[in-house]
Each structure stands twice: as C-alpha cells, then as structure tokens.
Structure 1
Amino acid sequence: MEKHLRIAVARLWHEAHSFTPVPTRLADFQQREWQIGPSAADFYRGTATEIGAVVAMMEREGDIDVHFSLCTAAPPGGLAVEEDMQSIHDLIIDGLGSEAYDGVYVSLHGATLSERSISPDTDLLRRIRAAVGPDVPIAITCDMHACLNPDIAGLVQILSGYHSYPHVDMFETGERALSMLMQTLRNGRAYRLNMLPVPMLPLSHMMRTASGPMRELVTFAEGLTADPAIDDATYFASFTYADSPYSSGLATITAEAGTDVSASLRQMHDAMMARRDAFRAKVTPAPAGLERAEALLASGRKGPIAVIDTADNPLSGGIGDTTGLLRAFLDSGSTRRTVFSFFFDPALVERAFALGEGAPIEAQLGGRIMPEYGAPVCFDGTIERLTDGRFRNEGPMENGLAVSIGRTAVIRRDNLRIIIAETCQSVNDPGWCRLHGIDLDETDLLLVKAKNHFRASFEPLCGALIDIESPGPAPSDLHAIPFKHVPPAFLL
C-alpha cells in the first residue's frame, strides 16, 4: 500500500512599518485572510497564491495529506499588537496538534514586527521546530521584501522567495518550495539553507523586475541554479520601513546539504552592492506630476493617466490619510474626469452609510492621523455609491483571491470622485473599479495612493503612469527616517 505523506501547512503574512502610529490588530488579519483547517482549501483553491499552490499539489498528487493550521494575512501596517501576534502564534502551534508530520510548509512574509519582537517570524519558526521535532524538514517562502534573521538557517532547510515585483509569482514561489520539500520526502535529497546579508537598504521604488537593477539581480541568481547542487537562489531586498537589525539586502541559496556555496553567495553579495546607486529614486513633486499628466492628455494621450503617490502607498505601510496629492489637484483647477483613491476614514464611511446614496455630505478629508503630512481638505459633494468592499481579484497578482476591504463610499463633486474606505488597502486590481462603478474608459485622471503593485493590473489599462511623492510616511529619503536598528551606512 502506498504511503501517504502528511504535510502541515501554515501562513503568517504581514509587512510592518515601524514609524506609523496605526497598529496592526487581530481584526486586520481576520478581515483579510483567516482560514483554519479544511476551509483553507476552499478559500485558496484556484488562486495565484502560495497556498493556492499547496491546494493544487494536494489535488494533483494522490499520496499527500495536507493538514492546514491557521493561514492568515493582514495588509501592511504598523507594528502588530503584541498580544495579538502571540495569539496568532498560539493558534498556529495549537493547529499543528500532537500529530506526526513528514514535512512542514510555512508561507511567511518575512517583514513582520510586533510591539516587543524584532522578528516574530523567527519566533514562530522556533516554536514550529520545537513542536515537530529536529528531523522534520521545514520549507518556507517569503516576500522579496523580507527582513530575515540569519538564525532561520538553523531552523529550516528550504527557502524560496518571490522573483517578481509586482509579485505576480506567488503561486510559482510556493511551487518551488514544495517541489524541494517533495524531493526530500520522496527521494531523500537533504537540503541546507545558506544566507549572506548585504549591507544596504534598497529603495523599493527602483525594485521593479521588468527592468533595472532588480531584474539583473534576479536573472543572475536564477542562473546559479544551473549548478545541479543548487535548487534555489533568491535575493531579498528588505522592507525599507521595517526598523530591525535584519533590514538589509540578503542573498540566499538552498542547496544540497554538504555543498560549499560560499563563492556563489559572495558573488550574489557583490552583484547587489555593485548596483547600490541604481536603487536611488528620482522624486517628482505632485504639482509637476499633475502638469505632466495634463500635458499628455492635452496632446491626445488616451486616459486614464495614473498619478501615483508613492509616499502614502498602503503596501509600503502608508496611512491612506495624506492630502498633498488631492490638494495639488484642487489647486490646479483641473476639470478633468478624475478618480481619487483614497482616504482611510472609518467614521466618515459610517456617516455616509447613515446618510445614504444620493445625499449631500460635507467632510474634512485626510489629515486626521498624521497631520504633519498635510492638513485636512474641506470637501462637499454627493454620496454617489456605497459598497460592501467585497470583490475577487481579476488581475495577475493574487488572481482569484477573495478580497474584503471593508465598506467604502464614493463621494462626487462635478467630475471628481473620491473614495473613502473603512480599511487602508491599495488599489491594485480591476475588480476594485467594478466594485465602485468606475469605467476607466470614461476617466481622464486616476490619482492613487500606490506604488509598484498597482502596475501589475493597471499599466496595460492606463495611457501613462506617473510616480510622484507628496509628504507621507513612506518617503524616498531614508535619511529622514529615525531608524534605531539600521546603520546609516546602509541607507542610500
């Protein structure tokens, strides 16, 4: 009788911004992703995610029994509340139970921070290792922007990370890690994780993998796997706004145990350091970006022209509350058909729902969380649309994943629509447009708090994309950030 392999699976995915006053709470995880046990298979089935790859493997291969412990994720945000992070860890460990497993797979982000821990991911892996014993192979995957403690190399055997930014290869990353885990369980191939920090903190502004320094580095790392002893070579470029001792570049290689990969790691290190200057970003202020957008439209360029405020990007830990871009647009006097997304203001959403669609509304927009990034903007308009904030991703990033961004309201005045949301989450998928009744063919300007992930779906749909930076919590000038753990020499 064929032996079934018993695999335990868990997920903890969150990216922490150390300098925002908005903490990440248990409710943020519960709203975005919160699946325990067999329901996880239904939730992730057919999605372009790491756990989607687990479900596909489970249903494709007949000799694997998957046990799902807690699988959860929250949007990027401030430090996780300590007791909430501990509750999540407890649930993951309790979900493993006392059963024996042949292997373990954990989907991590790698840039989680809590109020009292500089590496909750490491804390969790230590507890998983203690729970399953010293000999059970553990495979993990992490985001390209992970800040990984080198101690992880003593806790897990297998690591792979995203090779694309925007992160459209989550499914493939899960497949790579699972393939190595199956090599161990079926063929006895023993692995060792090797890690070498790179003393620089790259800016994610310049980290897109379509071209540029990160594309060159990913190509170089992938070339190392031509060596039959090396199954994975991945660069991690850190999350710029996570203040931890592990916030830096990182070269990693998962190779057959006993293989000396020190020379390859050093080559990866040197290749990243050689591109240090290429990660510097040029900043365009909001008024200049809007002038460029207007010139493109005036020249006949088809809209929408997207003007992207990178300094308040929620996926960089932005607060969805800065007002620089909106104020610059209003000051410009433009009458173009415009969508502004968004302001994070649960109380304003509540008020809009109480008033109802079609009602007039006066509001103070933004400037409530960190007014140093812009005073509130007085705005009066009409409540055009109210939504439950639920849709399913249609674009290439996390395709098929059910999304809940909380209730939202569309407030309109003349040709300007402004989105107000109960949670702080980026516009990254066309499903968001359908939710809000926005026809991009009837839109001239799309003003968004976003960055690189926005491009995965919207670059083909927009006439042009213009990155700007207004004052916000995710700036390109890292020397303006009061790091405690990141050495000044690491900063660009």
Structure 2
Amino acid sequence: MNERFRIAVARLWHEAHSFTPLLTTLADFRRREWSIGGEAEAFYRGTATEIGAVVALADGAADVEVRYSLCTAAPPGGLTVEADMRAIHDLIVEHLGEGPFDGVYLSLHGATLSTESVSPDTDLLRRIRARVGPEVPIAISCDMHACLNPEIAGIVQILTGYHTYPHVDMRETGERALAMLMSELREGRRHRVHMSPVPMLPLSHMMRTASGPMRELVEIGEALTADPAIDDATFFCSFTYADSPHSSGLATITAEASADVAAPLKAMHDAMMARREAFRAPVTPAAEGLTRAEALLAAGTKGPIAIIDTADNPLSGGIGDTTGLLRAFLDGGSTRRAVFSFFFDPELVARAFALGEGAAIEAPLGGRIMPDYGAPVPFAGRVVKLTDGRFRNEGPMAHGLPVSLGRTAVLARGDLRIVVTESCQSVNDPAWCRLHGVDLGEVDLFLVKAKNHFRASFEPLCGAMIEIESPGPAPGDLRRVPYKYVPRAYLL
C-alpha cells in the first residue's frame, strides 16, 4: 500500500439556463471563482464548500497529497460560449499535471451546457478518464439540480450530491465523496455508480428540504445507506430550465462494485414518481403578494417581510432585469420602507459612479434585456451609496466564501432603495446587507429576485416570506417553456 496518496482535484460549477439571451463567458467564471494550485488551497481554506472539504482532508491526513487543478465557478446563467468551455476543460486537464495519480476528485455542478454541447460534464470526464487511465478511481460530487448523462456511470466510480436545499451541505457533500474515494485508496474498496432516470422534471420551487416531497426523498435515500454495501443514495432533480436530453429526475446509488442494488434503485425511482404532483407549485401574482404583506404589517407582523420574485431569480438563471415586482410596488402606492434587490445594469452602475454619492440621477430601470417581461420603469432619485461589491459569506450557505458582485450602486427615492449591480447575482447572505448599508431592522418590505437559497440566511431575519411570480424567464408553469429536448410528458 502506498504511504502517500496523490489526489488530483478540480472544480467546474455552473448551472445553465437555456432560454436567456445572456451567454456565460470566461469573464463570468474569472469573476466568481478562479484559482489553481496553492491559490485554490488558500481561496477555499475554511469555507463550507466542497473544495473546503479537500483542504481540510489534506491538512489532517498525513497520507494525502493534493494536486489542485483549475477550480472555477460562475453564477447560474445562459449557455457557456463553446470556445470558453473548451478553454476551461483544457486548463483543468493541463493543470492536472503529470501522473501517476492514485485518485481524482471533481466538484461539479452537473448542469453545465455550452452553445455546442448538451453535456460538457461528460465531455470533461471522458478527457480526464483518458488522461489518468482506466484504473484510477474518479469521485464526483454534484448539485441536487444536476442533469447527468447516464453514461457517466461508466466513467466514474463514485457519485454523490447535495442533500439539502438551500444547499447548506456543500462541505458535507465533498466529505462524503472524499470518504468513498479514500476507502478505495486505503482499504481497497471498489465502488460502482448506478443510475435510474425518472421521467419527470420536478419544479425547483418545491424542492426545499425542510419539509415536503424533497425532504421525504432525501430521507428515503439516506435510509438506504444503512445497508453496508451502499455508500450513497442521492436523488437528483435536474435544473428546471436547462434544456438537455438528460434533464429529468434521477435516482443514483454508489455501492460496492459487486453489490446488487436493482431493488433499492427501483424503489428510489418509484418514490420520486409517486411524488410527482407534490412538486407542483402555486403561483401568486406580485400585487396579491404585496397586499398580503401590507395586511401582515398592519396586523403587527415584525418587518421586514420578504416578497420573493422567483421568476427572475438569478440562481434559476434569471436576468436581474424584469420589472413586474417593482412596478406592482409603485402602482400600489405603498409608503413602506422598502429595499429592492436588484437590477443588473453595468452601464447604470458606471453612470452612478461617474456622478458620485449624493448626486441626483434619472434612469429607466430594467426592461433592457428581455422587454417582453416588462417595460422599463422610469426612476428619478439620488445615488446614496457606491460599493466595490465584495464581501465574504457569513451565513450557512458557502460560509466563508469570498463573493464579488462587481461594483454596485444604491439608488433612493423617498423610503425606497434600489440596488443596481454589475453582475447578475442575487442577495443570499447577510453580508450583502452590510455592504449596501441595509439595516433590516429599519426595513418593512424586502423586495428580492430570489428563491429558496435566500431562505438559508434570511428566514430567521424576516417576519414573513411571500413568494410571488411576476413575468420572467424562470416561470413556475413549465408548459410555457419552449423545451427542445425535454418531453412534454415530463412537465408538471
């Protein structure tokens, strides 16, 4: 047995929305996460992420030597430009360096798409398998919303995914993958991945794991690991707005190579199908949600009340540009203290910086990218704060991870403040509030383009949360989405 195991590590994390005109480029990856070698070790050290788990393993295990290849991530968004995706793959493979390696661990999202490939993750895994040879075990971890090609089961030995949504178990997921990989290396345990696609496309609105159908499925999967032959049983639900031949529910088991898991795999498949209707979500228009919020405040509910516009949620591939929620708020004539997050508009941010804090500003807000989702809203007010858009996550999701929004500007008119950003990223951490000078104790209505991840940090800080849907690129009614690859029968 080797006294020291060499493990190659890489990360490629992006969730692709097939129906937005905004393509994802290298610049988006470089802005969010982009590090190699010792830089990667330093960047992720102490973070509640998959690569944070790698750093902790290397720090605590004398028999592990890690080679960090490119570790990169971009915010969810449109398809990645093919040349840029190839460049990322090239860098990952190149920086694996010369072998031999005893094992490989990859932190993947699993829902990447490029302008020319319906499964870039499969393309990358094939290249890595060719690079390291047929005998080296490869372990991967993926987001709960991965769209995995079943061919991957023949390429890798180990697969696991997030068991929580909001995804507050990123580090634990990495730890599971690494524990299985180390059992291969230290104990000679051999694994095999089993997959069973489920012919449905669950709606992510209903995937919160605090309760409901996803909580039940996670519990079913975790119970299966009481069998000593089964190391992991994970349900993947696909990314609702990623149009690929592999966009569907998926039951997976990683088990001893010799184990017969046909029966538990079928039970997982059937359990997901049995909950199909439970993933259907109600739709509340913006005006109705605001009326409910006003009634709660009038009855004494402590603010802020969060009004969550799910259809323009950036972590669902939203464009940060739709105007329905803001227009409904203004049309309602509310005098409440409100914060609106956010509009993605780099040119407007540049204007605000040129004018400076305290300056008057007039501008149309939103409606510049996909005006079918709402015309721009005229605005006249002041620039009250300018920031560099940088902070470090303090909440439970990706705790400790540095975040860069690009520059941001806070505009104000009366008791309404509106945040405008250079990149399309939602508010998901309390440090965002501090960056923008927002004291939630002085806010009645928090109007946000967000969805489930917002709840990880803000549910304890808000008096109530009301999900609404104004017109946007991530609707709850999937029959309105023009899928090319997803069969209509899969849709709720």
The two structures have a TM-score, normalised by structure 2, of 1.00
Q: Does 1:284 align with 2:284?
A: yes
CA distance in 2, matches of 1:452, 1:96: 35
CA distance in 2, matches of 1:361, 1:100: 60
Q: Does 1:471 align with 2:471?
A: yes
Q: Does 1:491 align with 2:491?
A: yes
Equivalent residue letter for 1:36 = I
CA distance in 2, matches of 1:62, 1:462: 45
Residue number in structure 2 paired with 1:259: 259
Q: Does 1:54 align with 2:54?
A: yes
What is the 5 A alignment of 1:43-442? 43-442=43-442
Deviation string for 1:370-417 (max 9, x for gaps)? 000000000011000000000000000000000001000000011000
Compute the displacement of 1:97 (Å).
Answer: 1.9
Compute the displacement of 1:211 (Å).
Answer: 0.1
CA distance in 1, matches of 2:225, 2:194: 14
For 2:131, what is the secondary structure of its paired residue?
helix
Equivalent residue letter for 1:307 = I
Residue number in structure 1 paired with 2:22: 22
For 1:96, what is the secondary structure of its paired residue?
coil
CA distance in 2, matches of 1:461, 1:375: 32
Give the ranges of 4+ consecutive aligned residues of structure 1 lying more than 2 Å apart after TM superposition. Answer: none
Q: Does 1:453 align with 2:453?
A: yes
For 1:111, what is the secondary structure of its paired residue?
coil
CA distance in 1, matches of 2:184, 2:97: 23
For 1:18, what is the secondary structure of its paired residue?
coil
CA distance in 2, matches of 1:64, 1:202: 39
CA distance in 1, matches of 2:486, 2:124: 23
CA distance in 2, matches of 1:482, 1:337: 39
CA distance in 1, matches of 2:382, 2:369: 24
Deviation string for 1:218-245 (max 9, x for gaps)? 0001000010000000000000000000
Compute the displacement of 1:2 (Å).
Answer: 6.9
The two structures have a TM-score, normalised by structure 1, of 1.00
Equivalent residue letter for 2:349 = V
CA distance in 2, matches of 1:281, 1:224: 28
Compute the displacement of 1:98 (Å).
Answer: 2.1
CA distance in 1, matches of 2:489, 2:428: 34
Structure 2 runs not aligned, ≥5 long? none
Deviation string for 1:2-23 (max 9, x for gaps)? 7111000000000000000000
CA distance in 2, matches of 1:222, 1:247: 23
| Identity, % of aligned positions | 76
Deviation string for 1:20-72 (max 9, x for gaps)? 00000000000000011111111000000000000000001111100000000
Equivalent residue letter for 1:380 = A
For 2:351, what is the secondary structure of its paired residue?
helix
CA distance in 2, matches of 1:39, 1:53: 15
Equivalent residue letter for 2:434 = R
Equivalent residue letter for 2:37 = G
Equivalent residue letter for 1:50 = E
CA RMSD of aligned residues (A): 0.7
